[in-house]
Amino acid sequence: MKKSDTPVKIRSNVEDMVRKTMKDFVDKEVIPIAREYDEQAKFPDHLFKQLGDMGLFGIRYPRDAGGSGGNTTLYCIAMQELARGLMSLGATVAMQCLMATNGLYLYGTPELHERYLYPALKGEKKGAFQLTEPDAGSDLKAVSTRATRTADGWVINGMKTWATSGPRADFHTVLCQTDPSKGLKGLGFFLVPSDTPGFSFSKPFDLLGTRSSSISEIYFSDCHIPAHHHLGQEGQGLSVLLKILAEIRIMTASLALGLHRAAMDDSVQYCKQRTAFGQPIGNYQLIQAKIANMAVNLEAGQLMVDKVTHLIDNGRSCLNEASMAKYFTVESACAAADEATRIFGGYAYSMEYSVQRYYRDNRFLLYGGGTHEVLQTTIGREILSK
């Protein structure tokens, strides 16, 4: 036996470790409270704080920007686990990690970083990302919230709807029109702190799903903000969005994978416990077929997501692949939640079981990150254009 002259290096797999950590967190902290918070439509602020302490919000940012030095793959793994526990939490955290902070990270001044980005990555400040208007969703040309130049900055007027975290965020990254005559070339993102005079919000919407997330309308009435709150160059709003569009879609796909996994795990367990005609229902082939379909779609979706996150982390463009992954995983998750309700039979109809929550929460994924009607169109168009 020799002493090891060249020290042996043994290291853990980072993806496994992030998943394990998040899985542990979700099993111990999220799942036990999910029903209560969903029923009472309240957001688990204490878990948000805890995730901030864990450095999760900075997972896709480099260390020198106050991040945790991870990447999109690790970000998406974490989102898969969170969504397995509670979609409302997963969706809110996903926004904090990406859309609410990315513009700030790329274009914010050092002062803005100090004031908003670093606190946001630590979970001390809550961020939000506001795009949708009553008449503008996927159709960004129709954005009517106006940002008008003043002597020392900008003044914002207008409203946003489906504003996730509208009432609870400390700052909003808001898509505005700076020059209506230029259409898509006149868009820009603005950082609007919620203590800006003229900012207000409606009471939270009463929602079908993701009931713990607080979504409302928000209003801007002569909100004066300094010049450097304009994130990016004038008229470049669309390109700011396009930079992360693939990532937004693959994040949404990851949330879908999480929900899909939850529906499947619950179903598998139930199939083994529930008996009918003297044996566990899992012994029946029609139930096995449902489980098989869930499993195959989950596996396929996971592969699509893994491929896209890999491409993003290698700096490759992959918007169409991301759109396909989002479309496929969300449809699969909806199907899985639907099948789960059939496996659970009458019990899926009871608010006591989580299956009903998966069934309601999956609707959120259909609209967030691009409607499937738009996605199908862009996927098809992209392929036909080659």
Partner 1 sequence: MKLVVLVKQVPNTTRVKLDPKTGNLIREGLESIVNPDDLHALEAALGIKEETGGTVTALSMGPPQAVDALTQAIGMGADKGILLCDRAFAGADTWATSLTLSRAIRKLGEVDLIICGHQAIDGDTAQIGPQVADWLGLAQATYVKEIEHLTPADPDKPGKPGEIIVKRRLENGVERLACQLPALVTVIKELNQPRYAHMERLITACTDKADILVWNAADIGVNTCDVGLEGSNTHVIKTFTPNFKRQKEILEGSRQEVVAELFDRLKKSDTTLSGKFQGRPS
Partner 2 sequence: MTIWIDQDNCDGCKRCQRVCPYEGIALMDGVARVTDRCTSCGACVEVCKNEAITSDITPRAVPDFSEHKGVWVFAEQTDGVLADVGLELLGKARELARDLNETVSAVLMGQDVAGLCDTLAVHGADTIYLVQDPLLKEYRTIAHANVMETLVNNYKPSILLIGATALGRDLAPRVSRRVGSGLTADCTELSIDVDENTEGSKILWQTRPAFGGNIMATIANRYSRPQMATVRPGVMEKTIVENVNAEIIRISPTLNEGDIKTRILERVKELPKGTDITQANVIVAGGRGIKGKEGFEMLGKLAALLGGELACTRLIVEQGIMAQGSQVGQTGKTVRPEIYIACGISGAIQHRAGMMGSRYIIAINTDPGAPIFDVANWGIVGDVHEIVPEMIAQLSQKGSLS
Q: According to the binding rule CB under 8 A, does residue 4 interact with partner 2? A: no
Return the residue of 148, 221, 275, 377 that touches partner 2, per CB under 8 A: 275
Q: Which residues of 299-325 are buried (b: 16+ CB within 10 A; e: fewer)?
A: eebbebbbbbbebbbeeeebbbbbbbb
Q: According to the binding rule CB under 8 A, does residue 152 interact with partner 2? A: no
Q: According to the binding rule CB under 8 A, does residue 9 interact with partner 1? A: yes
Alpha-carbon distance of 323 to 308, in angstroms, equals 10
In the chain, count of helices (H) and strands (E)? 13, 10
Residue 274 Cβ vs partner 2, minimum distance, rounded to whole Å: 6
Alpha-carbon distance of 321 to 247, in angstroms, equals 11
- In the numeric block, the tokens 């009472």 are attached to 40
* Token output for 6: 């060249």
Binding-residue total with partner 2 (CB under 8 A):
8
| Part in contact with partner 1 (CB under 8 A); list of ranges 17-25, 111-119, 194-202, 228-236 | 17-25
Q: According to the binding rule CB under 8 A, does residue 353 interact with partner 2? A: yes
Q: How far is CA 110 from the centre of its chain?
A: 26
Q: How far is CA 381 from the centre of its chain?
A: 26
| Part in contact with partner 2 (CB under 8 A); list of ranges 9-17, 94-102, 182-190, 271-279 | 271-279
- Residue 64 or 352 with smaller CB distance to partner 2: 352
> Are 61 and 95 in contact, with CB atoms under 8 Å apart?
no
Q: Which of 227, 252, 272 has the alpha carbon at shortest distance from 333?
A: 252
Binding partner of residue 11 among partner 1, partner 2, none, CB under 5 to 8 Å per kind? partner 1
Alpha-carbon distance of 5 to 218, in angstroms, equals 64
Residue 7 Cβ vs partner 1, minimum distance, rounded to whole Å: 7
Q: According to the binding rule CB under 8 A, does residue 27 interact with partner 2? A: no
Residue 357 Cβ vs partner 1, minimum distance, rounded to whole Å: 24
Return the residue of 36, 43, 45, 56 that touches partner 1, per CB under 8 A: 56
- Residue 221 or 275 with smaller CB distance to partner 2: 275
Binding-residue total with partner 1 (CB under 8 A):
32
Residue 25 Cβ vs partner 2, minimum distance, rounded to whole Å: 18
Q: According to the binding rule CB under 8 A, does residue 352 interact with partner 2? A: yes
Alpha-carbon distance of 317 to 111, in angstroms, equals 31
| Part in contact with partner 2 (CB under 8 A); list of ranges 68-76, 243-251, 273-281, 361-369 | 273-281
Residue 117 Cβ vs partner 2, minimum distance, rounded to whole Å: 40
| Count of C-beta atoms within a 10 Å radius of residue 16 | 10
For partner 1, the binding residues in 58-97 under the rule CB under 8 A are: 58-59, 63, 67-70, 74
Q: According to the binding rule CB under 8 A, does residue 345 interact with partner 2? A: no
- Residue 8 or 151 with smaller CB distance to partner 1: 8
Alpha-carbon distance of 327 to 335, in angstroms, equals 12
Residue 169 Cβ vs partner 2, minimum distance, rounded to whole Å: 31
**Cα-based torsion angle of the residue sequence 326, 328, 334, 338 in order, rounded to the nearest 10 degrees:** -170
Q: According to the binding rule CB under 8 A, does residue 279 interact with partner 2? A: no
DSSP 45-81: HHHHHHHHHTTGGGTTS-GGGTS-S--HHHHHHHHHH
Contacting residues toward partner 1, per CB under 8 A: 1-4, 7-14, 16-18, 20-21, 24-25, 50, 53-56, 58-59, 63, 67-70, 74
